[in-house]
Amino acid sequence: MTADASLISRTATEIRDLLKTGDVSPLDLLDTLEARIAEVDEKVNALPTLCFDRARAHARALMDKPVGERGPLAGMPVPIKDLTAIDSVRTTMGSTAFEDHVPDQSDIMVERLEAEGAIIYAKSNTPEFGAGANTFNDVFGATRNPWNTAMSAAGSSGGAAVALATGMAWLAHGSDMGGSLRNPASFNGIVGMRPSPGRVPSSVSPPIDGTLGIDGPMARTVADLALLFDAMTGEDARDPLSAHHGGTSFLDAALSAKPPVRVAFSADLGMTPVDPEVAAICERAAGRFAEAGVEVVEAHPDFTGVHDCFRVLRAKTFASALKPVYDSHRDKLKPELVWNIELGLNQTGADIAEAEHQRARLFHNARDFFKTYDLLLTPATIVPPYPVEQRFVAECNGHTFNNYVEWLGIAYAITLIASPALSIPAGFTASGLPVGLQIAAPPRGEAGLLSAAAVLEKILWPEPITPIDPRGGD
């Protein structure tokens, strides 16, 4: 059992194949990752909690089985976001109120991954309770962008994205409400996908019927992401929203790389300012779909009212989930989180009813739109990575935002219509920072989404652009 640095740059699908042939073992991979983490993580702070003893015990148990019985991941190491419980592993939610919390039971999503052959070896950093798209907290500090460590990694799955970008992971788990899989993918030059509600089962917490917050996969390539997504999906009776995947192989869909017929591009969805450089990079990237014979049209659904709708429904979700924490530990919560919870507690039934009606209207607008267009393409974020000390984006292109999440509108608009969406690298700014392109599909359209994204990925990046060594800030 030895570390092999040459494995770091291999794709996850290549590593999985090596596991299946027996050319490497899960223990070899853990040794390799432990060495890589020791080499680079102090520069970026992506994986603050490690559990290699537990991981090696699980790896040895898996290796007692024949290779063909080790599941589709076959011993692939996967870090879990620090919002999600792992039995016997410190799980802080990024909050000092939970800094010593050690669950005695794993989330059902973690159980599913381990049953499918994943080896859990680390917790990835997140903002407090996942609130905000800049990964910092009072327990572990800030996670830094490896393309320039003076910059934000975005969030809330920032630690996961940075681990992937720096070779401390081949696959990673994340979650997404207002872009938390897509924003860090954009800022770090990797791929992150928010699935349709119900695709990935997870342990139920209030609200039991919530469809805003979703677990999902992250990886360096579309095919790698599909490999992890296959292992995450399926029905579980403990999650009433979970649905059977119908036998679909999402990896096969990605490898088929079938182009869509007609896609729409919008720089702003008619509802948000966008940095001009980001808009230009994404428009060029979307336009390259034409090289595969795809018709690219400038269009978008009507998203009128999206900001009010999301603000109300997000606040309702935060109040439902976090009122007990607010009641016991209000003094320990960051101000943005307190504001969000109190907004939810002070809303009226009429406010919520109006927001639910708005969301239904947005959903039907989008459903009609996708009858004409196979996909909707936009910037994944409206700005490039910004200084890590800046808590959130307060202004863009002359527009001042009303709160700490409004700058994420281009992502949460897609959340509200229940569409799967991913971010792939679109290009780089003049200063060398990554920009992501968001690609959204109709609900339950992940197979077509992954297939089409693989087509564009191959046009834009014949070879993966990560992993990289962290680059010092200036």
DSSP 365-389: HHHHHTTT-SEEEEESSSS---BTT
Q: What pLDDT score does 248 carry?
A: 84
The span from the CA of 363 to the CA of 184, in Å, is 25
CB 110 within 8 A of CB 120: yes
Question: Would you say residue 175 lies in a domain?
Answer: yes
DSSP string, 411-459: HHHHHHTT--EEEEEEEE-TTS-EEEEEEE-STT-HHHHHHHHHHHHHH
Question: Would you say residue 418 lies in a domain?
Answer: yes
Spatial CA neighbour of 206 closest among 320, 370, 37: 320
- What CATH number does residue 181 fall under? 3.90.1300.10
CB 121 within 8 A of CB 110: no
Q: Tell me the whole-structure pTM to 2 decimals.
A: 0.98
Q: CA angle at residue 459 from 453 to 460, to 5 degrees?
A: 85
The span from the CA of 132 to the CA of 112, in Å, is 28
- Residue 208 structure tokens: 């039991």
Question: Would you say residue 252 lies in a domain?
Answer: yes
The span from the CA of 294 to the CA of 288, in Å, is 9
Question: Would you say residue 290 lies in a domain?
Answer: yes
Q: What pLDDT score does 473 carry?
A: 67
- Residue 32 structure tokens: 């390799």
Q: What pLDDT score does 245 carry?
A: 77
Question: Would you say residue 268 lies in a domain?
Answer: yes
Per residue of the chain (474 residues), what is the pLDDT tens digit? 589 999 999 999 999 999 999 999 999 999 999 999 999 999 999 999 999 999 999 999 999 999 999 999 999 999 999 999 999 999 999 999 999 999 999 999 999 999 999 999 999 999 999 999 999 999 999 999 999 999 999 999 999 999 999 999 999 999 999 999 999 999 999 999 999 999 999 999 999 989 999 999 999 999 999 999 999 999 999 999 998 877 889 999 999 999 999 999 999 999 999 999 999 999 999 999 999 999 999 999 999 999 999 999 999 999 999 999 999 999 999 999 999 999 999 999 999 999 999 999 999 999 999 999 999 999 999 999 999 999 999 999 999 999 999 999 999 999 999 999 999 999 999 999 999 999 999 999 999 999 999 999 999 999 999 999 999 865
Domain that holds residue 93: 5-460
DSSP string, 132-185: SSS---TTT---B-TT-TTBB--SSSHHHHHHHHTTS-SEEEEEESSSTTHHHH
Number of domains in the chain: 1
